[in-house]
């Protein structure tokens, strides 16, 4: 009976020892797993935090970034202002071009008016010259038909240059009769004027 009790006690002691060893082994395994897993977990946590910091951090200079609403509004305002300035300049250029066109039209009208006026003036001068030529021709004919003595009295009172012009137009015989009736001084002066006019005629 005593041997049976002792055997039971030894069995219990052996079981307790085995249980204690099992607990030690399990604890050692847990510690080992914890020691090995800790760095991996730490790395994962660090990577997660780094990713969050990258998302929260502002983008690098070379990396594309999306402007916020305030920046978009500022850009739109700048674009609208530039568009308004361009439209204003375009309107100013159009006004200047229109003013130049009006000025050109006015200048063309003035030139046309001046050309018409010049043409009228030339026509009037031509008519006046023709009328004057006709008057001089008629007057020369009248002097030719007068008596030489009477014509000489008129030529005596004329300016020598004016008288020489009429005598140059008259027929030679009529002019000679008038010259014969002039005083020596008047005849000499008119002769000098006539000689000077003939001297200006080209010889060749």
Number of domains composing the chain: 2
Given a cut of 90, is residue 173 above it in pLDDT?
Answer: yes
For CA atoms 113, 116, 122, 125, give the dihedral sign. negative
In a domain, 29, yes or no: no
In a domain, 87, yes or no: yes
Contact (Cβ atoms closer than 8 angstroms) between residue 166 and residue 197: no
For 129-162, the pLDDT digits (tens) are: 677 788 888 888 999 999 999 999 999 999 999 8
Provide the pLDDT for residue 12: 62
**pTM for the whole thing?**
0.37
Task: Give kind and range of the element (H or E) at residue 35.
Answer: helix 2-56
- Looking at the fold, whether 150 and 204 belong to one and the same domain comes out as yes
For 94-118, the pLDDT digits (tens) are: 989 989 989 888 898 888 888 888 8
For 47-84, the pLDDT digits (tens) are: 655 555 554 445 444 444 556 788 888 888 888 888 88
Query: What is the DSSP-derived secondary structure letter of residue 61?
Result: T
- Looking at the fold, whether 115 and 165 belong to one and the same domain comes out as no
Given a cut of 70, is residue 86 above it in pLDDT?
Answer: yes
In a domain, 138, yes or no: no
Query: Distance (Å, rounded) from C-alpha 91 to C-alpha 52?
Result: 54
Query: Distance (Å, rounded) from C-alpha 180 to C-alpha 185?
Result: 12
Question: Could you tell me the residue range of the domain that residue 150 belongs to?
Answer: 146-204
Contact (Cβ atoms closer than 8 angstroms) between residue 155 and residue 163: yes
- Looking at the fold, whether 163 and 122 belong to one and the same domain comes out as no
Nearest C-alpha neighbor of 156 from the set 177, 185, 121? 185
Provide the pLDDT for residue 150: 92
In a domain, 41, yes or no: no
- Looking at the fold, whether 150 and 203 belong to one and the same domain comes out as yes
- Looking at the fold, whether 123 and 156 belong to one and the same domain comes out as no
For 9-28, the pLDDT digits (tens) are: 566 656 666 666 666 566 56
Contact (Cβ atoms closer than 8 angstroms) between residue 162 and residue 189: no
């Amino acid at each position: 009976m005593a041997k049976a009790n002792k055997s039971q006690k030894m069995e219990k002691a052996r079981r307790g020892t085995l249980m204690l060893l099992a607990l030690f082994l399990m604890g050692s395994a847990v510690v080992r797993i914890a020691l090995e897993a800790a760095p991996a977990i730490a790395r994962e946590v660090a990577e997660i935090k780094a990713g969050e910091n990258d998302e929260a951090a502002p983008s690098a200079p070379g990396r594309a970034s999306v402007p916020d609403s305030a920046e978009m509004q500022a850009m739109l305002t700048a674009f609208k202002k530039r568009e308004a300035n361009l439209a204003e300049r375009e309107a100013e250029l159009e006004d200047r071009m229109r003013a130049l066109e009006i000025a050109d039209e006015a200048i063309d009208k003035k030139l046309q008016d001046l050309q018409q006026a010049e043409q009228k003036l030339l026509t009037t001068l031509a008519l006046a010259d023709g009328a004057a030529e006709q008057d001089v021709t008629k007057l020369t004919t009248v002097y030719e038909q007068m008596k030489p003595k009477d014509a000489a009295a008129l030529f005596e009172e004329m300016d020598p240059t004016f008288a020489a012009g009429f005598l140059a137009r008259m027929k030679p015989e009529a002019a000679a009769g008038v010259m014969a009736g002039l005083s020596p001084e008047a005849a000499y002066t008119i002769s000098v004027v006539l000689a000077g006019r003939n001297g200006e005629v080209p010889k060749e």
